[in-house]
Structure 1
Amino acid sequence: MQRYTKTAMSLHWLSALLIISAFIMGLVMTSIPGFSPAKLRYFSWHKWLGVTVFALAVLRVLWRIFHQPPPHPAHMPVWQNHAANATHWMLYVLIFAVPVSGYLYTLSAGVPVVYLGVWPMPVFMAPNPELKPLFRAVHYWLDMTMAALVVAHAGAALKHHLIDRDDVLKRMLPFTK
């Protein structure tokens, strides 16, 4: 069985953990009515997760450029190969697009992003109340699209493991042989 590199596995699972955390935090923070210190703290944490996911996405793409993933199993139908490749590339696009759209939403609202409360991120646009609802909607729908693709991706991995009983999932699990 050909496996992903330990670096690829680490970047994959760390990205997954942070993306799921940011998604859940986004749902929680937007369900809190009004403004409160807790809500503002969650918004900051959500933004920090987004910046971190974006940085990891850059690392993942650089790693992927220089390290080819293992090939799909020979028994996998062509349509599944195409579906897997399309899903992976859409997820790569979304791990950039979701944080960028959130950043644009934040800037259009006139709220700075200060990473970890220490490093101010660049402000390259003035507050824009007209664009704010657009960026909010784009961020939301990109995020929901990513959530659907993550569920499909995990479902496909589990299908390979539980039904097909092949090594597709094991190639990405760090503690299996």
Structure 2
Amino acid sequence: MALLIGNTQARYGWIAILLHWLIALLFIAQIALGLAMVRMTSQRSAFELIQLHKSIGFLLLGLVVLRLGWRLANVTPRLPAGTGLLERRAAPIAHFTLYALQFAPPLTGWALVSASVLEIPSMPFDLFVMPNLPVPVSDASEAWWGATHAYLAYAAVGLVAVHALAALRHHFWLGDTVLVRMISPSRRCDGDKPE
């Protein structure tokens, strides 16, 4: 079988799979960093974690833009034949919401650092200075963006958990290929013809 780069009607290609899992791992790292950095007693350690959190946030934002572009440029594999009407209608809404919650936390984090009265420049991985967003700089603005960023991150965690449980349901309960095709395109999926 040739290396499957793009998606087909039956399965995801390697680019979609790699972007999916890379974003998932970075998202988990971001949640862990976010929780750790606000609990640090050492200001130096907290500052270093915040800088890493910001760097990964900008990386995530870029990867999500790339992933969305790839999704729009490729076919989306169809759902298994046995998928019910309600699930067929809910799936696009759930995916749209997942994309929205992949964009929102990094953007609100960017707005948060842009609104900070401390005016500490954001330097993703110490490579360049990221310009601030045009938001008001004040304690009130920083607090608002901080709360919004936190609530959106928690909402994203909740939706990602539902997404993971749905994938496990498809695999273990329904026995279809929804999860398998996001692991490897070399696995046989519904509707595939032998190659």
Identify the TM-score tier after normalising by the shorter chain: over 0.9
C-alpha contact (below 8 Å) 2:12/2:185 kept by paired residues: no
Instruction: Give 1:31-50 correspondences, 5 Å limit.
Output: 31-33=39-41, 35-50=42-57
Find 1:143's aligned residue among 153, 165, 168: 153
1:69 is matched with 76
- Measure the CA separation in 2 of the matches of 1:31 and 1:81: 42
C-alpha contact (below 8 Å) 2:14/2:185 kept by paired residues: no
- Measure the CA separation in 1 of the matches of 2:98 and 2:111: 20
2:34 is matched with 26
1:104 is matched with 111
1:94 is matched with 101
C-alpha contact (below 8 Å) 2:115/2:141 kept by paired residues: yes
C-alpha contact (below 8 Å) 2:11/2:185 kept by paired residues: no
| Shift >6 Å, 4+ stretches | none
- Measure the CA separation in 2 of the matches of 1:82 and 1:21: 31
Unaligned 5+ segments in structure 2 are 1-8, 188-195
Do residues 117 (structure 1) and 126 (structure 2) align? yes
2:21 is matched with 13
RMSD: 1.5
Q: Give how far 1:85 is off.
A: 1.7
C-alpha contact (below 8 Å) 2:170/2:176 kept by paired residues: yes
Do residues 58 (structure 1) and 65 (structure 2) align? yes
Percent of aligned pairs with the same amino acid: 32
One-letter identity of the residue aligned with 1:111: I
2:176 is matched with 166
1:22-77 per-residue CA deviation (whole Å, 9 max, x = no partner) reads 011101111123x5221111101101110000000110111011102101112111
C-alpha contact (below 8 Å) 2:170/2:178 kept by paired residues: yes
